[in-house]
Structure 1
Amino acid sequence: MLRVGVIGTGAMGVNHIRIYHEMEGVELVGISDIDEKRVNELSRKYETEPFTDYKRLLGKDLDAISIVVPTKLHKRVCLDALEAGANVLVEKPIADTPENANIMIQAAKNAGKALMIGHIERFNPAVIKLKEIIDEGLLGKIVSISTRRVGPYNPRIRDVGVILDIGVHDIDIISYLYGLEVNNVHAIAGADIHPFEDHASIHLRFDHDLTGLVDTNWLTPHKIRNLTAVGIKGVAYLDYINQTLELHDENWIREAKVDKAEPLRNELEHFIKCVSTGEKIHPNGENGKHALEVCMAAIESYKQEKTIQL
């Protein structure tokens, strides 16, 4: 039985708590949040111990911990968790700066512990299926991947703009599907309803003249989450929300068989399995750092109105 905990009980943290509570082979030892009333209510609901000081939770000899706190706190809480001997899952983005991401990655290596980054869309069943199809060569060489992730603004997001909050998902997914890192970034963005950017168009370039395009905003009144992958043998159309995947070529329009499931549950099951067996974890700290670096380059690009090399 793996002993786990969750630090942070916001909208995402509650889902970590719920899934660990339901998961076989896992004991949810405790949860932590500075909001005493909230953490007490959730601890009663999910039959676990509440802590307002996360270091007291870390003292409970945990095998694994989910860190679901504001990004600026990721480094500090992660280092404390690794020092306490826990394997760590940190929600995206990995950190507030690439320098802090490097410190976290090195600390995990020194501790001999896993560091996983919560890029949840990698565990969307439609993305999993598309990755299989691309790797099998059914679409031929992929030359372009474009995404659209738009919707209304959530007032709880105050410390970052749309690029770091939701654009980072597709930046990571495009790199993941290509199996390559971004070489350079050119972005156009603006801030109309938010102190940081609230709409952005981000152009990514990879080796071999491969491209990615991320269109994202907080201005659209309804959520759209989709991806198009263009190959020399066909095109794939993916809907993240409905978990559907259509393949088009010159002869057929086919719908791929996607076994629908909750992406976060898939993600946490992967984390727990890797902690239990020592299997290679993904996305790891290096993957998370790359996505963060691309986001930071996109922000620099739109502010300086130029292409940024990575």
Structure 2
Amino acid sequence: MIRVGVIGVGSMGKNHVRIYSEMEGVELVGISDVNQALVEELAHTFKTTAYTDYKKLLSQGLDAVSIVVPTKMHKDVTLDALDAGVNVLVEKPIADTLENADLMIKAAKEKGLMLMVGHIERFNPAVIRLKQIIESGLLGKIVSMSTRRVGAYNPRIRDVGVILDIGVHDVDIISYLYGKKIDQVYTIAGANIHSSEDHASIHLRFDHEYSGLVDVNWLTPHKVRTLTAVGVEGVAYLDYLKQSVVLHDKEWVREAKVEPKEPLLNELQYFVRCVANNEYPHPNGEDGKHALEACMAAITSYHEEKVVDI
């Protein structure tokens, strides 16, 4: 039995609570949040124990914890969890600064514990299927990828702009699908309804000849979540929301078989399996740091109007 907890039970955290409570082989020991009324209500619903002090939860002999607090708190809460001997899944982005990401990665290595970063789209069944298709060679050499992740602004997002809030998903996914690190970033962006950028076009370069383009905004009144992968033998069109992958080549237009499943369920099942079997997780701290570094470079590029090398 894997003993788990959840720190931070807002809009995303309560989904962690729900899924852990339903998983076989998992005991949801407790949940923590500074909002006492909220955490007590959820604890009652999911038959677990509520804590307003997360350090008390960490002292309950946990094997693993999901950290789903605001980004600026990721470093402190993660370090406290690792000090308590608990394996960590921290939501994306890994941290608010590269320096804090390094501290988290270093602490996990020194403690011999897991630090997994919640880049949930890696666990979207459509992304899993497209990764298989790319690696099979069916599309030939992939030379460019582009994504659109747009929709209305959520007022609860106050501490970061659109690049770190949602752009980081596709920055990570494009790097993951290529199996390559990003070399250069150039961004055009602006702020209209938010204190930070609320729209951005992020251009990524890999190994000088492979490209990625991430289009994000909080201005479009309807939600779009798509990715296009262009290969020399064909093109794939992925829809994150529909969990679909459609392939076009010279002879056929066909839809790949994708078994629908909640991405967060996939992610948490994988995390628990890694903890149970002492397996090194992906995406790990280094993966999370690379996505953060690319997004930080995108923000610098936007402000300084220049190409930024990574």
Same fold (TM over 0.5): yes
Q: Does 1:156 align with 2:156?
A: yes
Aligned to 1:90: 90
- How many equivalent pairs are there? 310
Q: Shift of residue 280 of structure 1?
A: 2.5
Q: Secondary structure at the match of 2:290?
A: helix
> Residue 14 of structure 1 aligns to which amino acid in structure 2?
K
Matches within 5 A, 1:107-126: 107-126=107-126
Aligned to 1:176: 176
Moved over 4 A (4+): none
The separation in 2 between residues aligned to 1:174 and 1:234, in whole angstroms, is: 17
Instruction: Write out per-residue CA displacement over residues 251-288 of structure 1, whole angstroms, 9 at most, x where no aligned residue.
Output: 00010000110000000000000000122311000000
Matches within 5 A, 1:1-310: 1-310=1-310
> Residue 240 of structure 1 aligns to which amino acid in structure 2?
Y
Structure 1 length-normalised TM: 1.00
Instruction: Write out per-residue CA displacement over residues 198-250 of structure 1, whole angstroms, 9 at most, x where no aligned residue.
Output: 00000000015000000000000000000000000000000000000000000
Q: Secondary structure at the match of 1:11?
A: coil
Q: Secondary structure at the match of 1:93?
A: coil
> Residue 264 of structure 2 aligns to which amino acid in structure 1?
L
The separation in 1 between residues aligned to 2:208 and 2:52, in whole angstroms, is: 51
The separation in 2 between residues aligned to 1:164 and 1:76, in whole angstroms, is: 19
The separation in 2 between residues aligned to 1:287 and 1:170, in whole angstroms, is: 13
> Residue 182 of structure 1 aligns to which amino acid in structure 2?
I
Q: Secondary structure at the match of 2:60?
A: coil
> Residue 294 of structure 1 aligns to which amino acid in structure 2?
A
> Residue 56 of structure 1 aligns to which amino acid in structure 2?
K
Q: Secondary structure at the match of 2:12?
A: helix
Structure 2 length-normalised TM: 1.00
Which ranges in structure 1 are unaligned for 5 or more consecutive residues?
none
> Residue 35 of structure 1 aligns to which amino acid in structure 2?
N
The separation in 1 between residues aligned to 2:80 and 2:198, in whole angstroms, is: 33
> Residue 152 of structure 2 aligns to which amino acid in structure 1?
P
Identity of aligned residues (%): 70
Q: Secondary structure at the match of 2:230?
A: strand
Instruction: Write out per-residue CA displacement over residues 124-153 of structure 1, whole angstroms, 9 at most, x where no aligned residue.
Output: 000000000001111000000000000000
> Residue 152 of structure 1 aligns to which amino acid in structure 2?
A
> Residue 124 of structure 1 aligns to which amino acid in structure 2?
N
Q: Secondary structure at the match of 2:61?
A: coil
The separation in 1 between residues aligned to 2:126 and 2:175, in whole angstroms, is: 16
> Residue 197 of structure 1 aligns to which amino acid in structure 2?
E
Over aligned residues, Cα RMSD in angstroms? Answer: 0.5
Q: Shift of residue 122 of structure 1?
A: 0.1
The separation in 1 between residues aligned to 2:267 and 2:128, in whole angstroms, is: 12
Instruction: Write out per-residue CA displacement over residues 45-84 of structure 1, whole angstroms, 9 at most, x where no aligned residue.
Output: 0000000000000000000000000000000000000011
The separation in 2 between residues aligned to 1:228 and 1:212, in whole angstroms, is: 10
Which ranges in structure 2 are unaligned for 5 or more consecutive residues?
none
Q: Secondary structure at the match of 1:30?
A: strand
Instruction: Write out per-residue CA displacement over residues 166-204 of structure 1, whole angstroms, 9 at most, x where no aligned residue.
Output: 000000000000000100000000000110000000000
